[in-house]
Amino acid sequence: MKYVYILESLDRLHFYVGITDDLRARWAKHNAGEVPHTSKFGPWRLKTYVAFSNAKQAVAFERCLKSASGRAFAKKRL
């Protein structure tokens, strides 16, 4: 199972989109400051996630969410 997730900083100013096999462990790493890109903006809350059984679909959805139109979609709908 692949998970595409969106994290939101507690101040609601920063968002992060990622993909993982183990959502709980990855979220814990973000909050522990072990991920360089997110370490300075934590703590993080899990805004939403989508589970995929197909890895290619998960990667495609993550790429979509990281695009300008995908970010707009996520802010409005997710």
CATH number, domain containing residue 58: 3.40.1440.10
Beta carbons of 7 and 30 less than 8 angstroms apart: yes
Q: How many helices (H) and strands (E) does the chain have?
A: 3, 3
Low-confidence ranges of the chain (pLDDT < 50): none
pLDDT tens digits for range 66-76: 999 999 998 88
pTM of the predicted model as reported, rounded to 2 decimal places: 0.92
State the pLDDT at residue 38.
Answer: 94
**Four-residue CA torsion sign, 70, 74, 77, 78:** positive
Residue 49 domain boundaries: 2-77
